[in-house]
Amino acid sequence: MDYKDYYKTLGVSKTADEKEIKAAFRKLAQQYHPDKNLGDKSAEDKFKEINEAYQVLSDSEKRQKYDQFGSNWEQFRSTGGDPGGFDWARWANAGAGTGAGTGGYSGRRMSQQEFEELFRGTGTNTSGFSDFFNMMFGGAAGSAAFQQAMRMDGQDVAREVEISLEEVLTGTSRLLRKGDRTLTAKIPAGAKDGSKLRFAGEGTAGVNGGKAGDLYLVVRILPHERFERSDADLICQQEVDLYTALLGGTISVPTLEGNFELKIQPETQNGQKYRLRSRGLPVAGTTERGNLYVVITVRLPKNLSEQERSLVRQLAQLRGAH
């Protein structure tokens, strides 16, 4: 049976105070928690070692016994002694008697097996702690005080859900499966990229009565082939032929709710914006809506005939361009 250096397990010195021990335990427990290391047996074993060390060092009475017993036991082994022959009774009954020549204790020598059975009542280790721990403290690991000390809250979990701009306009919902249950996530109209929906208690389970973590649904807005988003406003590019841009006219432009007939003013410039009020997205939590901005891109004609070129030259001369 090997000696367990609980200070080394937690990475603290033997003079560490309660605050240092607790901080070291929490850091290591988060790192090796089974929920974060699914299927990793080595991490599971490390988590048990950390729990065991903290159970002892966080309890002043256990820590005092551990410090007293551990140093004696190590010294006994270093001189070549058999761990099975260590005088467990001396440690267990320290100060109980005043028998002459007995070093401050009385009574018969107790074997290792007897000592173990005295505390555990069995020769089989079913506590989840090492034999060394059980030899020293028996069934104390199952005490209410220890269970409270080992209480750890579950972890929060985040999952992403993708929605379209059309769903941002109307609001939508998603069904999530968790075991044999179905959770309904209602995403409100006007939701922004990165916004979160919280499901309390739907994260990973707590340990030893700790509360469960929360589930966060993170909304991601899919890119749209026609529109760009700026808060509640939408922006789209719209091609217009040269003649409509020069002379004016009516064009059909897309919106999230269907096409809209937009009147183009004569001499509309390339890059000019037209605003369609309240044709954008809802402003979350209100009845207001953003605007749709249509950015005009003037399309120049190609493959001009000689007659068309002649007419363009005449226009250029009239405009003083040549």
pLDDT averaged per 10 residues, the chain (length 322): 81 92 89 81 88 87 78 55 50 41 37 38 50 63 54 85 96 89 93 94 83 92 95 96 96 95 96 96 93 97 94 90 68
Q: What pLDDT score was predicted for residue 172?
A: 96
**CATH label of the domain that carries residue 261:** 2.60.260.20
Q: What pLDDT score was predicted for residue 98?
A: 38
In single-letter form, the type of residue at position 49 comes to E
Q: Among 60, 57, 112, 63, which residue's Cα sits nearest to residue 83?
A: 112
Q: Tell which of 116, 149, 182 closes a domain.
A: 149
Total number of domains in the chain: 3
- What order of strands is seen across the sheet that includes strand 273-276? 228-230, 233-241, 292-299, 273-276
Q: Is residue 184 domain-resident?
A: yes
Q: Are 90 and 164 found together in one domain?
A: no
Q: Are 44 and 74 found together in one domain?
A: yes
Q: Are 109 and 63 found together in one domain?
A: yes
Q: What pLDDT score was predicted for residue 78?
A: 55
Number of helices and strands (H, E) in the chain? 11, 11
